């Protein structure tokens, strides 16, 4: 596949580490796609407040903002919609109003699903809820899953509806690595729910939401054209991963990460290795390739599943949180206002690229 894009504007921003303990910026060693050294990118919305997720229905785009709002973008106009939640959103690092996905019948039901962090009685939790849209206000209607462990960092937070019409969610280890290996805990997992919040009968663990475990802080989910599931995951000071996810499997954290191996534990399709940090977040699939939003890597990364190669697809916009591809349009949002980036005028922004073969 050949992808041609033309330059409108390039912003040069320097991203900070997604892991506060890593003070120095690692060099970006992933080669840059030679056909995309100059990028044509159109800004669709600006002055966003720490956006986290992109969702789209027909010609309308919805973005979540971590402080607790949804921005609707339609006909070139942006409207910040109120979100009425039962719990107050946590302002802890990396926390807030995170994952968001529209119900399959959204056109009729005006229903969506959301993942957010809150604090109660001195503890922090994540919960998955359904939301109802009425007159530019989203109201929490039903709690699908509550008291997912949270902490000062590592909340996970990505939501996606799979080709099986189930709701999938990524959860972080809540900065307690041992929870990732505990199949009695919802932390450090990929979860699978029915859309009403019940446990699917064919989940790999009996009477459990857990679909896979041994994850540190996964933040991206996508299926390919053959309905295979992939996830992106933050490593510990590098060793970031792109994994092929299979039901019931153990992805190793905290026993292994990156290129390390151990019996009965899965190793990644791609890893940044020990010297480079991507801090990968949102991911999407297009023409046998995965496109990954990288925060610390300050780029969109391109992974060719057939050739087993990787390269930088786009850089120069700072921290990138999420990506969404529909037909030949690629959308991405920056995250330079999250306290770890270097925002320039009008950040954060939603951008669009037109892809052609």
Active site residues: 154
Cβ burial, residue 123 (10 Å; 0-12/13-18/19+) = exposed
Q: Using DSSP, how many helices (H) and how many strands (E) does the chain show?
A: 1, 24
DSSP letter assigned to residue 9? -
Instruction: Please answer whether residues 180 and 173 qualify as being in contact, where contact means their C-beta atoms are separated by less than 8 angstroms.
Output: yes
Cross-sheet strand order for the sheet of 309-315? 280-286, 289-294, 299-304, 309-315
Q: Which residue has the tokens 């060793």?
A: 239
Instruction: Please answer whether residues 279 and 240 qualify as being in contact, where contact means their C-beta atoms are separated by less than 8 angstroms.
Output: yes
Give backbone dihedrals phi and psi of 109, rounded to 5 degrees, phi first.
Answer: -90, -25
Question: Chain-centre distance of CA 282, in angstroms?
Answer: 3
* CA 165 to each of CA 45, 116, 128, 207: distance values in angstroms, whole numbers, following the listed order: 31, 21, 16, 19
Element (H, E) at 86: none
**φ/ψ bin of 106: left (φ > 0), alpha (ψ from -120 to 50), beta (otherwise):** alpha
Question: Which of 45, 89, 94 has the alpha carbon at shortest distance from 71?
Answer: 45
DSSP of 187-241: TTEEEEE-TTSPPPTT-SSTT--EEEE--S-EEEEEE-TT--EEEEE--SSS--E
């Amino acid at each position: 596949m050949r992808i041609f894009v033309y330059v409108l504007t390039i912003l040069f921003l320097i991203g900070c580490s997604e892991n506060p303990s890593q003070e120095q910026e690692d060099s970006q060693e992933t080669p840059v796609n030679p056909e995309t050294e100059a990028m044509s990118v159109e800004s669709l919305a600006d002055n966003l407040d720490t956006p986290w997720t992109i969702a789209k229905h027909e010609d309308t785009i919805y973005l979540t903002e971590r402080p607790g709002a949804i921005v609707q973008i339609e006909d070139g106009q942006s409207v910040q919609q109120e979100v009425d939640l039962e719990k107050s959103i946590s302002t802890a690092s990396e926390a807030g109003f995170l994952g968001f996905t529209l119900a399959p019948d959204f056109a009729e039901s005006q229903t969506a699903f959301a993942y957010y962090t809150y604090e109660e009685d001195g503890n922090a939790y994540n919960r998955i809820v359904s939301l109802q849209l009425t007159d530019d206000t989203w109201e929490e209607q039903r709690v699908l899953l509550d008291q997912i462990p949270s902490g000062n960092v590592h909340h996970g937070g990505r939501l996606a509806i799979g080709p099986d019409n189930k709701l999938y969610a990524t959860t972080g280890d809540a900065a307690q690595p041992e929870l990732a290996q505990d199949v009695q805990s919802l932390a450090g997992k990929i979860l699978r729910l029915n859309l009403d919040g019940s446990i699917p009968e064919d989940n790999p663990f009996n009477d459990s939401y857990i679909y896979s475990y041994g994850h540190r802080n996964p933040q991206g989910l996508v299926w390919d054209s053959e309905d295979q599931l992939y996830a992106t995951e933050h490593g510990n000071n590098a060793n970031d991963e792109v994994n092929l996810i299979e039901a019931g499997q153990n992805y190793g954290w905290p026993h292994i990460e990156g290129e390390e191996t151990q019996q009965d534990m899965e190793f990644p399709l791609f890893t940044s290795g020990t010297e480079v940090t991507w801090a990968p977040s949102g991911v999407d699939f297009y023409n046998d390739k995965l496109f990954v939003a990288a925060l610390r890597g300050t780029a969109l990364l391109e992974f060719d599943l057939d050739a087993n190669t990787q390269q930088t697809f786009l850089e120069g916009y700072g921290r990138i949180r999420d990506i969404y591809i529909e037909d030949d349009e690629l959308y991405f949002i920056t995250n330079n206002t999250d306290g770890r980036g270097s925002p320039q005028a009008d950040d954060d922004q939603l951008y669009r690229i037109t892809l052609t073969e």
